[in-house]
Chain A
Amino acid sequence: MYESLGIFRHIWEVLSKLDLVLLISLIILLTLGGITLHSASGENAAMMQRHFIHLAIATVAMVISAQLPSHILTQWSVWAYSGGIILLVLVLFQGSMGGGAQRWLEFGAFRFQPSEIMKLAVPMMVASYFSNKTLPPKFLHILVAAVLVLIPMLLIARQPDLGTALLVGSAGFFVIYFAGIAWKWLIAMFISLAAAAPLLFYFGMEAYQRQRVLTLLDPGSDKLGSGYQIIQSTIAIGSGGVYGKGWLNGDQSRLDFLPERHTDFIFAIFGEEFGLLGNLILLSIYIFIIWRGLYLATCGIDTFSRLLGGSLSLTFFVYLLVNTGMVSGILPVVGVPLPLISYGGTSMVTLMAAFGLLMGLKKRKIGYGNA
């Protein structure tokens, strides 16, 4: 009796680290995602089964990360970061080919992308770097932080995986932003980035990446080639209208006109089946989650927690912005999934782990938390 009570007590201790509000919003989002994926997969039971397995693993990852206190995370940051860098270099040399780019490492039957680790490791590293510095930071500290961000970013961009590089880079950047980089430097940074954009376009990008940017400017120029996805996804969204065609009634998806419709382009299916109304509800849920993330970050127990929490929340936003922007045809096509809705285990686990970290970082004022 006592022992069983003790087990409950342990479980309660573990669960109490979670944030109930964020948890409920995540459950709503994941439910919507499951419904959409059911339709986007063409009612593929096997795919749905795998999706639920991913979800289960991701939930466990979230619960575990929520238990990690900030001082331990600060210590782990360096190891996670340096380990990640080593793996990235390894991938560049002997990674197996996947989707036309070297992104994967194989351990027996298990394949994984080291770049995915960096989505968490980079902001942790930068946040821990700033955790014992005076804030707002000095110029030198910012420079060091920038190098810490740029090294993995460039390694990932070399694979090439522009989407992940973008996410890793912005995760690191957001830490610097929250650390309090002076606005004038921030503005100067944006201006120099804008000035470097043409150079980046002509010398930094692969041919197919350039093509994607050009396609965005004029999708009609290559209807069956690179413009096809954008055209088909805008057709899908637009034909959804205000109320949508209804669940499982999206013609574009049902008839296979939309490539990558269960992964990166799932937002088009959602828009087609649930219309503008559904889209606005979905965006509201995302906004609420981002708000809640930023709120939890503000409640962070120390500088490290705040910086990491803020960065993770805004990175989640970058996922959303880049994905919806590309699917609705206003941003170039880069491989960024719609967070927590697109099919795919790796990003699901990373994202849920990030939310776990966010939940675990907050200050506990009253006993076992206010969950």
Chain B
Amino acid sequence: MSETRILKDEKEEYHLFRSRAVVAGLAVLFLLSVIGVRLFYLQISNHENLTQLAQENYQKRIPIPPVRGQIYDRNGIVLADNKIEYVLEVVRNIAKDMDENIALLQQLIPISQKEVSKFKQQLRVNSRFQPVILRSALTEEEIAIFSVNRYRFPGFAVNIRTERVYPLGSVASHVIGYVGRIDTRDLERLGKNEYKGSTHVGKTGIERFYEERLHGKAGFKKVEMDAHSEPQRTLAEESPISGEDLFLSLDLELQIKAEQLLEGKRGAIVAMDPRNGEILAMASVPMFDSNLFVNGISYKNYNALRDDMDRPLFNRALQGAYPPGSTIKPMAALAGLDAGVVTNKRSVKGRGFFQIPGTRRHYRCWKKTGHGHISLNRAIYQSCDVYFYDLAYRMGIDRYSKAMRKFGFGSKTGIDLPHERSGLMPTPEWKLKRHKTNWYPGDTVNVGIGQGYWTASPLQLAHATATVAMRGRRMMPHVLKAVRVSRNLPEKPVRPIALPSVSVKDRQWDAVVQGMVNVVHGPMGTARGSGAGAKYRFAGKTGTAQVFGIAQNKTYNAAKLAKRLHDHSLFVAFAPLEKPKIALSVIVENGGGGSAVAAPIARQLLDSYLLPKPKVEPETIQVDGDDKLKKEKQASDNSTLSDGNA
């Protein structure tokens, strides 16, 4: 029965099947055309986009950091160098079983537990693609041992690292500055591409100011990576261009001398070549060791530096704002002469104090008995306050301030170092804005002797002194003397930049400079002790900047005041008189009178720079210098003459 049914249905079933097969075939075509559309979308519409994604997948641009330029002094002595060392680095993304691998590695090359814990700490901080140093300063033998076993340690690699070293430690540390690890703030201001392979960047000083020159241009290597980040082959390569070597105008010997002379004190010295604005020495004491910052200063060290009352991180020479005191009297005299307020001939009666006409307040001279009738020349070499009270009062603050600005006071010198401060050359407008009060004639009188609101940096003082030395010709101070793009090429000198000069008549220059000469060489000069026995002639001016306000009718008693309230001791000078080669300013914080402390220091520096040097080893020079310093100190202590203004 079943057989007949099958036979009966055979044809009908065949047709049923055939129609179903046709429908199925159409469904197959339809569904596969959906796949076809999808392939069309991927391979034509989205082709470019996906090709780019594919390239991003496997093409990696590995930056090659350039070698940082070196820094030398003017005689080619290295101030900032690169130490090349081999380090063992680990990329967390690739490395597996970190603890196990480190333990295995420790059997091959010595890695201390301290290094391991430091490494683990760094691992946490860095991204998993960033190589982190496990061991530094690998020996050749260790490199060989590791290389043989490299295949066992994926993600571990020996790489060359250059590390910044400052061979002289703290010498000129404020000028040279230091490099440190790049942080997020640095990344905001730096070109991200240029710094992709770099780890360090200049943070302060020359290292920061000439960062672009020192850093050089990063190269890159475009490599093909597989999915496990193992490089397969190099597709393109561009070598990095090393940073430029910088030759500073600093004279290392003078710099060290300056720093030694300030040792144990707080203060600053700026010495420059007045002819071209080259900074010969810029000392700020206390100092710090630049090397501490290179690999990240420890909290302990940093806090110690930051919280030190003597502020070693602060560059006094550039950022210090000191009342310039009597050191500005030569410039004030020139301003007065130029304005016709004083003449070379006319004398002023010095009674020991100055009174603004119609008032009773006494502006005292440092010499209570008064200087009697005093000429311009004597007013300078004896530093008569009353003469300059009168000068400023009669000139008026507007003219006075304008004339002093021509010497650079109240504005930045434009030196090639970061964070310069402009100091303050006050005007009535400034006072109204800042203190919301009017300018009083008494303010003018105080400014007349470099006190009151007036502040200046040691650099500005040296610069203004250089201007006097060059009789008005002003050059922009600078630290960079020459640049060497490549070791094979000669150094290219940096062209000095001239600034607007101060034009005063020649005989007026003569008169003022004569006053300054008499300060050191005259029989009654305030710093005649420091000028004695010089083998060359020079010009100088003492200054004492008041830190502590003294009430009317009181006398200044150094012994009774706390050391930090003592006056600042200042001295400016240039030499040789006939053809000035050096101009300098010395400031010793709370040092007391200018003639007692600052002037002898200046004399020693001038001697050291101008006199022919004995051919001896640097160490002996240092010892020599110390002895000299002590002798000079005794000499200056013995000299009773002190200059002070109140």
Contacts and interface: CB of A to CB of B under 8 A. Distances in A.
Interface of A: 132, 134-136, 174, 177-178, 180, 232, 234-242, 251-252, 254-257, 271, 275-276, 279-280, 283, 286-287, 290-291, 294, 297-298, 300, 302-303, 306-307, 310, 314, 317, 320-321, 324-325, 328-330
Contacts of B18: 298
Given A238-B43, A328-B42, A321 B32 contact: yes
25 contacts: A135-B13, A135-B16, A177-B20, A178-B20, A180-B16, A180-B17, A234-B42, A234-B50, A237-B43, A238-B49, A238-B53, A241-B43, A242-B47, A252-B54, A252-B57, A256-B226, A257-B57, A257-B227, A279-B43, A287-B29, A294-B24, A294-B25, A306-B14, A314-B28, A321-B35
Given A237-B50, A255-B58, A314-B24, 16 more contacts: A135-B16, A136-B16, A234-B42, A237-B43, A238-B47, A238-B49, A239-B51, A251-B224, A254-B226, A255-B224, A276-B39, A276-B43, A287-B28, A298-B14, A303-B13, A329-B38
Contacts of A255: 57-58, 224-227, 232
Contacts of B227: 255-257
A306 B17 contact: yes
B589 to A, nearest CB: 60
Contacts of B62: none
Interface in B37-68: 38-40, 42-44, 46-47, 49-51, 53-54, 57-58
Interface stretch (B1-9, B129-137, B322-330): B1-9
B9 A241 contact: no
Given A178-B21, A298-B21, A321-B31, A239 B47 contact: yes
B11 to A, nearest CB: 12
A98 to B, nearest CB: 24
Contacts of B500: none
B43 A297 contact: no
Contacts of A328: 35, 38-39, 42
B16 A283 contact: no
Contacts of A235: 50, 53-54, 57
Interface of B: 2, 5-6, 9, 12-14, 16-18, 20-21, 24-25, 28-29, 31-32, 34-36, 38-40, 42-44, 46-47, 49-51, 53-54, 57-58, 224-228, 232
Given A255-B232, A256-B227, A290-B28, A239 B54 contact: yes
Contacts of B57: 232, 235, 251-252, 255, 257
Contacts of A325: 35, 38
A325 B25 CA distance: 18
Nearest to B47: A241
A290 B31 CA distance: 13
Chain A residues touching B, majority SS: helix
A236 B54 contact: yes
A251 B327 CA distance: 75
A132 B6 contact: yes
A256 to B, nearest CB: 4
A177 B17 CA distance: 9
A149 to B, nearest CB: 17
Contacts of A303: 6, 13
User: Nearest 6 pairs between A and B by C-beta?
Assistant: A238-B50, A239-B54, A255-B226, A276-B43, A238-B42, A256-B227
Contacts of A307: 17
A257 B58 contact: yes
B395 to A, nearest CB: 75
Contacts of A174: 24
A237 B224 contact: no
A251 B226 CA distance: 9
A320 B35 CA distance: 10
A325 B227 CA distance: 24
A271 B39 contact: yes
A291 B29 CA distance: 10
User: Which one of A134, A239, A297 has the greatest number of beta carbons of chain B within 10 Å?
Assistant: A239
A88 to B, nearest CB: 28
Contacts of B225: 255
Nearest to B53: A235
A231 B13 CA distance: 47
Contacts of B50: 234-235, 237-239
Nearest to B56: A235
B44 A276 contact: yes
Contacts of A294: 21, 24-25
Contacts of B36: 279-280, 283
Nearest to B16: A180
Contacts of B12: 135
A235 B226 CA distance: 15
B2 to A, nearest CB: 6
Contacts of B14: 298, 306
A272 to B, nearest CB: 9
